[in-house]
């Protein structure tokens, strides 16, 4: 192994140990550019942030522990890795998250030269995860979350809310002592719940008191695709129901059962999430984004955006793209 690659591997291994409580490492200039931050909560949840750019290809090898669940968030270039137990190569794309229980096996992360990598990792003690589930969910949910969520590694797309939580996490340093840890863990719990909701949409749609037939659920999911693909000109609720072959009343009820919100609430939510993505990823003006997601008045758009994200679109774009998010 090359000396530079050996040093990176040693630094990486140091990040994923259990001490100290807070760690910051700068990659030596002769190896490449990058910084690594790690914070450990009172409950033993480890949050790591990695910024890497290497002048030559680097392979980092480490191992997972059966005592932890890992959720990876990729905010930079696509990255891939492989494990010793399978020949299948895992690819984590830009703006994608991936969860897997630790299996006590070795894995290799592959970093290509001259690419900017930005990874976040939540390392959650398995016992603590089960305690959370047992505390907040009923027996049906425990069975689903404990069995399906941890048995099957899952990918989800990062939502604007996930990205905003990463931005908000840095604010824990404004609090003294235990208050800071309390704030940090609340935000991490919020991230976990959002990730699980995204990963388990199909499973959770069949739980609860209301039982929805599979056929009706599939019709609603077709309507969801119609909404997602034409946010600026979404058909009316009655038109959506007609397009998928349901009565308006049954469609409305089933939509809420499957997706957990009304048709109107879903459309507003998707429009604002799309707007948030455009604010971060495009150079479109606020007015152009407003029209792109289906708002005819900028004032209505700004008000709705602030209700959801806690700030107006201009402030959101400025604060979320200023590169100052450090943990």
Structural domain boundaries in the chain = 3-203, 210-320
Query: Of the given ranges (196-205, 262-271, 281-290), which has the lowest mean pLDDT?
Result: 196-205
pLDDT band at 204 (very low <50, low <70, confident <90, very high): very low
The phi, psi pair for 184, rounded to 5°, reads -60, -45
Share the mean pLDDT of the chain: 81
Residue 182 has pLDDT above 70, yes or no: yes
Residue 100 has pLDDT above 60, yes or no: yes
pLDDT mean over 305-310: 88
pLDDT of res. 14: 61
The phi, psi pair for 69, rounded to 5°, reads -110, 140
Q: Tell me: the pLDDT tens digits for 36-57?
A: 888 888 888 989 999 989 998 8
Write the class of the CATH domain 210-320.
mainly alpha
Residue 208 has pLDDT above 60, yes or no: no
Residue 86 has pLDDT above 70, yes or no: no
Q: Tell me: the pLDDT tens digits for 279-307?
A: 988 889 999 999 999 998 999 999 999 99
pLDDT mean over 170-189: 81
CATH match of 3-203 with 3.40.190.10: no
The model carries a pTM of 0.62
Can you tell me the distance from the alpha carbon of 4 to that of 56, in angstroms, rounded to the nearest whole number? 10
């Amino acid at each position: 192994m090359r000396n530079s690659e050996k040093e990176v591997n040693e630094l990486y291994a140091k990040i994923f140990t259990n001490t100290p409580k807070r760690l910051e490492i700068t990659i030596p200039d002769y190896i490449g550019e990058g910084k690594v931050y790690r914070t450990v909560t009172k409950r033993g949840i480890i949050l790591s942030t990695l910024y890497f750019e290497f002048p030559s290809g680097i392979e980092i090898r480490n191992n997972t522990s059966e005592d932890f669940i890992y959720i990876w968030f990729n905010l930079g270039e696509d990255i891939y890795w492989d494990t010793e137990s399978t020949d299948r190569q895992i690819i984590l794309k830009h703006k994608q998250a991936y969860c897997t229980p630790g299996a006590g096996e070795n894995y290799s992360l592959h970093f290509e030269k001259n690419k900017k990598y930005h990874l976040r990792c939540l390392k959650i003690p398995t016992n603590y995860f089960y305690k959370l589930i047992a505390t907040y969910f009923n027996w049906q949910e425990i069975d689903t979350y404990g069995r399906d969520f941890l048995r099957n590694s899952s990918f989800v797309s990062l939502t604007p809310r996930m990205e905003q939580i990463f931005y908000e996490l840095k604010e824990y340093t404004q609090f003294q002592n235990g208050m800071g840890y309390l704030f940090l863990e609340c935000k991490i719990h919020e991230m976990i719940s959002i990730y699980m909701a995204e990963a388990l949409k199909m499973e959770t749609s069949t739980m609860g008191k209301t039982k929805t037939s599979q056929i009706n659920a599939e019709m609603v999911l077709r309507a969801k695709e119609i909404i997602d693909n034409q946010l600026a000109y979404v058909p009316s609720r009655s038109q959506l129901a007609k397009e998928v072959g349901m009565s308006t009343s049954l469609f409305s009820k089933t939509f809420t059962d499957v997706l957990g919100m009304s048709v109107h609430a879903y459309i507003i939510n998707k429009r604002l999430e799309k707007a948030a993505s455009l604010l971060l990823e495009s150079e479109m003006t606020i007015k152009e984004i407003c029209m792109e997601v289906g708002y005819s008045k900028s004032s209505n758009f700004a008000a709705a955006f602030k209700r959801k994200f806690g700030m107006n679109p201009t402030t959101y774009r400025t604060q979320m793209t200023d590169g100052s998010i450090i943990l």
